[in-house]
């Protein structure tokens, strides 16, 4: 044990060759030894053969509700949605899907996402449309805690679990979520996120992104009276974001899960609506595939369908 009064001196390797730490040599001899740095585990994303969908939004903006209702719409109305076998989280995806579907039918809203980790769902969507042009696709949904998105304020950086996806060379679609009640608070942060994407080399003129104003039922309506109403809301509450949308031609829509009541301090769905889930799901599919999900088929396919084949 060294003398507590002994002055501290800077670490010096002198001219001796660097050697890995040896338990035999280093045991109780008080010598200075170099500890080799362990190689960092690769952050390379496995299973890149998919269409990745990244949700951006602050805490309680409604990201999990949008995700769960979209998945429910896709699997209950227009096709089959199942976990992709052989992915790192096949079992976890199955559990999460089961929870989503069971809860939404009981009016239970999804729980909040865990901070500092990416909830990743690797899925295969097989449309029930008979046209050969409406093909099955791989979809990988990525959801993160709203608290993590505050980290990019004033030039900050994301947690490494999120950075690895934003930096990867993968096809990414961005669903940018803000709520009817807090949109005016999110304007600056949304722009910082778009700035972050540009810093990472993503051209906003070609990026696949949509702004979603969630919890539209808080306005007193389940829909918008006209397209101008949504445009006016975004222009008033999200003026800078509105400029980015108009300049780069990004998409926009509103969203509601239906009627939500507060029962004993807990919000529950009293009337489930999938109308806006349909709109967003169809936008997502067509923006990736280039064909409408409800495409009626070619001329010959329509003739074939008419005969019930």
- The string of pLDDT tens digits covering residues 248-274 is 999 999 999 998 888 887 888 888 999
pLDDT for 151: 72
pLDDT tens-digit series, residues 187-203:
999 999 999 888 888 88
Whether residue 126 is contained in a domain is answered as yes
pLDDT for 7: 52
Rounded CA separation 60/58 (Å): 6
In the chain, the number of structural domains is 1
Least reliable range by pLDDT among 142-151, 184-193, 201-210, 216-225 = 142-151
* In the predicted structure, residue 97 carries a pLDDT above the cut 90: no
Least reliable range by pLDDT among 2-6, 38-42, 180-184, 208-212 = 38-42
* In the predicted structure, residue 19 carries a pLDDT above the cut 50: no
pLDDT for 10: 46
Whether residue 179 is contained in a domain is answered as yes
pLDDT for 169: 87
Whether residue 3 is contained in a domain is answered as no
Interval 71-80 mean pLDDT: 95
- Kind of pairing between the strands at 258-263 and 266-272: antiparallel
Interval 65-74 mean pLDDT: 94
- Kind of pairing between the strands at 79-83 and 119-127: antiparallel
Counting beta carbons within 10 angstroms of the beta carbon of residue 61, is it exposed (0 to 12), middle (13 to 18) or buried (19 or more)? buried
Rounded CA separation 275/256 (Å): 8
* In the predicted structure, residue 1 carries a pLDDT above the cut 70: no
pLDDT for 299: 61
Q: What is the CATH number of the domain that holds 259?
A: 3.40.50.300
Rounded CA separation 159/163 (Å): 6
Say what the pTM is. Answer: 0.78
* Domain extent at residue 180: 51-289
pLDDT for 183: 95
Contact indicator for 241, 234 with CB cutoff of 8 Å = yes
- pLDDT band of residue 185 (cuts 50, 70, 90) is very high
- pLDDT band of residue 40 (cuts 50, 70, 90) is very low
Rounded CA separation 212/236 (Å): 15
Rounded CA separation 135/176 (Å): 26
What tokens appear for 291 in the block? 């064909």
Beta bridge partners of 53: 141, 173
Whether residue 208 is contained in a domain is answered as yes
Contact indicator for 22, 133 with CB cutoff of 8 Å = no
Interval 219-244 mean pLDDT: 94
pLDDT for 72: 94
Whether residue 21 is contained in a domain is answered as no
Whether residue 37 is contained in a domain is answered as no
pLDDT for 6: 53
Range with the largest mean pLDDT of 24-28, 48-52, 226-230: 226-230
Whether residue 15 is contained in a domain is answered as no
| Residues in contact with 200: Cβ distance below 8 Å, sequence separation at least 6, in sequence order | 166, 167
Interval 97-124 mean pLDDT: 80
Whether residue 152 is contained in a domain is answered as yes
Could you list the beta-strand ranges (E) of the chain. 51-56, 79-83, 119-127, 137-143, 172-179, 208-214, 251-254, 258-263, 266-272
Interval 204-213 mean pLDDT: 92
Nearest C-alpha neighbor of 57 from the set 180, 144, 129: 144
pLDDT for 95: 81
- pLDDT band of residue 134 (cuts 50, 70, 90) is very high
The average confidence (pLDDT) of the chain is 81
């Amino acid at each position: 044990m060294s003398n507590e009064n002994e002055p501290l001196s800077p670490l010096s390797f002198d001219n001796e060759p660097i050697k890995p730490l040896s338990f035999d040599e280093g045991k109780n001899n008080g010598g200075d030894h170099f500890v080799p740095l362990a190689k960092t585990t690769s952050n390379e994303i496995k299973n890149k053969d998919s269409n990745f969908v990244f949700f951006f939004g602050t805490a309680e903006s409604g990201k999990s509700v949008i995700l769960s209702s979209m998945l429910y719409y896709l699997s209950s109305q227009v096709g089959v949605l199942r976990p992709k076998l052989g992915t790192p989280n096949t079992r976890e995806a199955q559990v999460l899907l089961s929870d989503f579907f069971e809860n939404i039918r009981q009016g239970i809203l999804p729980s909040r996402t865990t901070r500092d980790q990416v909830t990743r769902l690797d899925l295969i969507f097989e449309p029930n449309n008979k046209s050969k042009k409406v093909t099955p696709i791989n979809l990988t949904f990525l959801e993160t805690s709203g608290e993590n998105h505050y980290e990019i304020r004033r030039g900050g950086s994301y947690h490494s679990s999120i950075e690895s996806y934003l930096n990867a060379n993968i096809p990414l679609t961005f669903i940018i979520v803000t709520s009817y009640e807090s949109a005016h608070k999110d304007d600056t942060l949304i722009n910082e996120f778009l700035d972050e994407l540009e810093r990472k080399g993503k051209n906003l003129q070609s990026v696949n992104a949509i702004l979603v104003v969630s919890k539209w039922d808080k306005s007193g309506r389940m829909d918008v009276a006209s397209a101008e109403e949504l445009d006016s809301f975004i222009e008033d509450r999200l003026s800078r974001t509105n400029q980015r949308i108009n300049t780069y031609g990004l998409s926009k829509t509103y969203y509601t899960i239906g009627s939500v009541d507060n029962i004993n301090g807990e919000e529950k769905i009293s009337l489930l609506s999938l109308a806006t889930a349909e709109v967003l799901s169809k936008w997502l599919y067509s923006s990736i595939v280039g064909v409408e999900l409800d495409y009626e088929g070619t001329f010959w396919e329509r003739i074939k369908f008419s005969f019930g084949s």
